[in-house]
Structure 1
Amino acid sequence: MPPTRSSTVDRSTPRRARLALALGAALLAVPLAACGADPEAEPDGSAGGGETASEAFEAVTIEHAFGSTEIDEEPLRVVTWGWGSSDAAIALGVVPVAIPKNSYGADEEGYMPWQQEAIDASGAEEPTLLTEAAEPPLEEIIAAEPDLILANYSGITEADYEKLSQIADTVAYPDEPWSTPWREVITTVGDALGKADEAAQLLEDVDAEVAAAAAAHPEFEGRTIAAVAIDPNAFYVYTPADPRVQFLEDLGFTVADSVDELDTGESTFYYTLSTEEVDKLTSDVLLSYVADQTVRDDIAADPALQAMQQVQDGTVASVVGESYISSVSPPTALSLTWGLETFVESLVPAVEAAG
């Protein structure tokens, strides 16, 4: 156990003052109503990450798209927004006080299965679930009384950042929205929480599991692959910039030349291919992400796809199920190893069929 401060760290007063200036009385109503406790009282330890700070915490400055954020005291109440940072914090032993609610692949409450498993194993109090929305739900975040907001894989705008940073120290993404490499999500969260060494070890452990899976399937090595998502109205191809594709490369696959040759430049991580051109997407293996078995069956029966060599040869692999799709879209500190075995086994039959 690291040494702890002998007295409670009370950061609520300056935060309320900043909120009053930036957000006005309407937003202040939530935290002011909720904060009736004696600031000198001993903490109850119920919040994510505990309520005592470590004397060993070293101040850190994190550069990001909207400037830099200096964190000079160990965060005691962490709120996350976006994807991946929640899992990184939980994996590093800090359960946030509030995290985004999920619907795709989540349980009825809004937790992803790997999150629920990790939180249950930690014995910590479950985080508050923030409403799913395009913009951060400011009043809900204020009510959580954070001293750190992690949005380092998100789509927040500069205006969002300015509002969030009036609530607490806020870390945004390094360059572009929704494009932070999953490994960098983990290292940045580790830096912000004063757990850089633990983050490095976590990455080493995750990489070791992926390497072990690749070693157990040498038949993956050098096989060309194209990863796609198909719905009744569109055929999407993921580019090498997408974390899903990078994960396939970690397993030993090589991105098929046709993926680059057909790229329309529509997006940094995917493009849409017309049904008239799908037969040009050649590869040893075609990997499709489908929500359920019904969708998979519909795809297999689609006449437009019968022209694809992979369909004819039986070298189509499918990752079926919202949770499993989410576990690599993109991977997180918790999700990648959670779904690794199922993901790998879904590829085996198609690779074997490729000969």
Structure 2
Amino acid sequence: MPTRPTLRGAALLAATALLVAGCGSDDSDGGTGAAGGGGSTGSSGAFPVTVGTAFGDVTVEEEPARVVALGWGDAETALALGVQPVGASDWLAFGGEGVGPWLEGEYDEAPELIETLEPSYEAIAALEPDLILDTKGPGDEDRHEALSRIAPTISQPEGVDPYQIGWEQQLDVVGQALGRTDRAEELAAEVEEAFATAREEHPEFEGTEVAVGAYTAEGWGAYVRGDARVDFMESLGFVNKPEIQDLAGENFFVEVSDEQLNLLDAPLTVVFPIFVDAAEITSSPLWTTLGSVQQGNAVVLEDSDLLNAFSSGTAPGILYAIDNAVPEFAAALGD
């Protein structure tokens, strides 16, 4: 999969502020040791452990005490497993501790925030990590090698394109590296149960076509399978609109021109703004021509917390989105 060469590609990868090059770092010395986070969840794996990556097997000799989480969702996943990274990248520009409100209070001490696309290797090395998580990122071999000179680095698994690791696989890989496989399995079961409950409570979702799109200052776009948002909708029983899915190439979104906007017309249309106000969608004359809008079957995700949870692609973010987005989808379908 090619890297994202344009602002358009970077913007469409995010929900509200993905690929923010200026996430920067705070002035803290890092959080508590990894084993200190979450308190109740201890290591469930014997070390050393060997984790397969796209760049070969990586062995983690001992249970990590100082973890730096660089990939999209890696910090959230580690926190959900009871491990507090000392450094983390803030892909969705939350600020503060660099995680969504669904994980507020999980840190004893905020991590040092590391830039996303161009992380400072000096800043990472200064944190003296014994493990670096980079499972969902650019997938660049030079980056992997540079990080590996600092500490064992877990990049995306073999056969997985950049930014394309799913929440289950990310949870599994991070769980292996942290020795928290038992907790990872418990959390995966919790998410699957939440999806199953939502499907059971909303049988109208099953087989209903959905179009998932975004609007930026540069125009419209739609997502295809492999993107966390479409995968989320299909896990609820929806089916990505075939006319959109047929346009899928090597990337996980397709650009939609004004003349093609009818692609977003579906039995359920879900769109969100990126770097623009939601009113630019709802006030658009083109938007109001869609049948789904006229019939009330369109949802514009405006709440930033929900928007970020929907886009996070992490187990804790997904649980938050199921609780808060599913009622909106059901209402749009007339439930």
Q: What TM-score do the two structures reach when normalised by structure 2?
A: 0.81
Would you say 1:96 and 2:85 are equivalent positions?
Answer: yes
Task: Give the match for residue 273 of structure 1.
Answer: 256
> Secondary structure, in 3 states, of the residue corresponding to 2:68?
strand
From 294, 300, 304, the counterpart of 1:312: 294
CA distance in 2, matches of 1:287, 1:54: 40
**Sequence identity percentage:** 32
Aligned to 1:160: 143
Deviation, structure 1 residue 71: 1.3
- What letter is aligned with 1:60? V
Gap change, CA 1:349 and 1:64, over 3 Å in 2 = same
5 Å matches for 1:1-355? 46-50=32-36, 57-102=46-91, 104=93, 106-108=94-96, 110-119=98-107, 124-130=108-114, 132-174=115-157, 175-261=160-246, 263=247, 265=249, 267-290=250-273, 295-352=277-334
Task: Give the 3-state SS of the residue equivalent to 1:63 in structure 2.
Answer: strand
User: Could you say if the C-alpha distance between residues 337 and 280 of structure 1 is closer, same or farther in structure 2, counting changes exceeding 3 Å?
Assistant: closer
Give the match for residue 6 of structure 1. none
| Unpaired segments ≥5 residues, structure 1 | 1-33, 35-44
The SS at the match of 1:75 is coil
Aligned length: 300
Give the AA of the match of 1:90.
L
* In structure 2, C-alpha distance between the alignment counterparts of 1:288 and 1:54, rounded to whole Å: 40
TM-score (norm 1): 0.77
Given that 1:69 and 1:169 are in contact with CA atoms closer than 8 Å, whether structure 2 keeps it comes out as yes
**Relative contact order, CA 8 A, sep 6+: which one is greater?**
2
Contact 1:256–1:282 under 8 Å retained in 2: no
Cα distance in 2, alignment partners of residues 297 and 46 from structure 1? 42
Cα deviation 1:146-195 (Å, max 9, x = unaligned): 11101011115211211111111111112321111111110000111112
- Partners of 2:32 and 2:84 within 8 A in 1: no
Distance of 1:275 and 1:344 partners within structure 2? 29
RMSD over aligned Cα atoms: 2.6
Q: 1:49 to 1:127 in 2, by over 3 A?
A: farther
SS in 1 for 2:165: coil
**Shift in Å, 1:101:** 3.1
The more displaced of 53-62 and 310-319 is 53-62
Q: Which has the higher helix share?
A: 1
Contact 2:92 2:308 in 1 (8 A): no
Q: Is the 8 A contact 1:135 1:156 kept in 2?
A: no
Kept in 1, the 8 Å contact 2:135–2:155? The answer is: yes
